[in-house]
């Protein structure tokens, strides 16, 4: 196979940068596979960059882009690894799970890495088996983040958590949706007394509003902070709102900002919230951005005084509102 990278023919592994060679070495049989491909001149494939090339090796060879580090009990998508420097990759390779040094802690914090041990919080007793059968690594990450947020934000009994789990399973089709609905139940529990009929009524009122706010702009290039703000301004100037990533994410974002004791209607509160968050996104610069651990998307983070907002830029360039979570008081 003739491989062209930036219009240059790849003749040997040695032509690749040290970082790309390091990434290739992390893919089981990656180097051997590449050598076999280079010896087959029948077909030609072209890549815009070394990053684009290395991100296709895993799926093409093993049908997965995930890399497992047994020394750290850590799983990371190749796209997230590509965003790291060569020295950071070497640190991941040479460290072990017992390491507790500042450099490793900084790396985990900067790239929001979660080792596999932490996923034990995903109690299988809370979630029925069918939801797990087709779950992806990305969904497990989202579920972990939702459950971790719920534990830190809502002080409720185990019986209430079980009620939240049962209600969430009635609504959800994926683990990510389960996490959203689980948090939504707990967010509305005190004002609704955990009454399923009340909660279902709230959902019925919110769903049309959220469904009407799922449109998103398509970015054709990677956005820095200012380009991101300009893209949002342009989208809004055309009469659009930056839509939610999914229906369940939108329901949770709105639900976290509802006041059921208010005389204002649910729909009106939802519309007011959506208008206010659009203003925040238009007038604030993102404080950080990173490829999420699964490698499925880039997150743009707005760490504000009272809340943390995440935008999601997925593989096809769709920019959407992923989460808006108030910070614990």
Query: What residues contact 304, with CB distance under 8 A and at least 6 apart?
Result: 280, 284
Per this entry, what is the length of the chain? Answer: 329
Q: For the chain, what are the domain ranges?
A: 2-116, 122-326
Confidence (pTM): 0.88
Q: Can you give the pLDDT at residue 275?
A: 95
Question: Percentage of residues in the chain with pLDDT exceeding 90?
Answer: 56
Q: Can you give the pLDDT at residue 35?
A: 86
Q: Does pLDDT of 123 surpass 70? A: no
Q: Can you give the pLDDT at residue 263?
A: 79
Q: How many CB atoms lie within 10 A of CB 91?
A: 17
- 148-162, 189-203, 227-241, 300-314: lowest mean pLDDT where? 189-203
Give the mean pLDDT of 58-74: 89
DSSP result, 104-142: HHHHHHHTT---GGGGGGS-TTTS-HHHHHT--HHHHHH
Chain Cα centroid distance, residue 24:
24
Distances (CA, A) of 240 to 81, 94, 218, 289: 34, 48, 13, 23
Q: Does pLDDT of 162 surpass 70? A: yes
How is the beta sheet containing 297-303 ordered, strand by strand?
Answer: 288-291, 297-303, 307-314, 319-326
Chain Cα centroid distance, residue 146:
11
70, 76, 82, 86 alpha-carbon torsion, rounded to 10°: -30
- 54-58, 254-258, 259-263, 264-268: lowest mean pLDDT where? 259-263
Q: Can you give the pLDDT at residue 262?
A: 81
3-state secondary structure of 90: helix
Extract the tokens encoding 132.
């797990």
Q: Can you give the pLDDT at residue 259?
A: 84
């Amino acid at each position: 196979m003739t491989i062209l990278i930036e219009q240059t023919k790849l003749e040997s592994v040695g032509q690749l940068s040290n970082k790309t060679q390091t990434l290739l070495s992390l893919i089981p049989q990656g180097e051997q596979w590449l050598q076999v491909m280079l010896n087959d001149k029948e077909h030609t494939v072209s890549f815009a960059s070394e990053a684009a090339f290395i991100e296709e090796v895993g799926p093409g060879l093993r049908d997965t882009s995930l890399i497992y580090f047994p020394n750290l009990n850590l799983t990371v998508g190749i796209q997230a690894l590509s965003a790291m420097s060569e020295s950071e990759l070497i640190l991941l390779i040479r460290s072990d799970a017992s390491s507790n040094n500042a450099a490793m802690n900084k790396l985990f914090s900067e790239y929001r890495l979660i080792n596999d041990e932490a996923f034990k919080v995903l109690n299988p007793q809370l979630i029925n088996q069918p939801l797990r059968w087709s779950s992806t690594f990305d969904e497990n990450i989202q579920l972990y983040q939702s459950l971790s947020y719920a534990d830190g934000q809502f002080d409720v009994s185990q019986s209430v958590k079980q009620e939240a789990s049962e209600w969430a399973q009635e609504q959800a089709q994926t683990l990510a949706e389960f996490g959203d609905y689980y948090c939504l139940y707990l967010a509305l529990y005190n004002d609704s007394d955990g009454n399923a009929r009340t909660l279902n009524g709230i959902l019925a009122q919110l769903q049309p509003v959220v469904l009407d706010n799922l449109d998103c702009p398509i970015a054709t290039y990677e956005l820095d902070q200012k380009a991101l703000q300009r893209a949002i301004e342009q989208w809004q100037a055309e009469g659009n709102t930056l839509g939610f990533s999914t229906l369940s994410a939108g329901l949770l974002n709105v639900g976290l900002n509802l006041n059921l004791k208010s005389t204002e209607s649910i729909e009106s509160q939802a519309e007011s919230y959506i208008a206010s968050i659009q203003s925040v996104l238009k007038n604030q610069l993102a404080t950080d951005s990173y490829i999420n651990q699964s490698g499925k998307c880039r997150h743009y983070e707005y760490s504000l005084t009272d809340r943390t907002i995440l935008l999601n830029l997925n593989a096809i360039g769709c920019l959407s509102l992923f989460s808006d979570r108030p910070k614990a008081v």
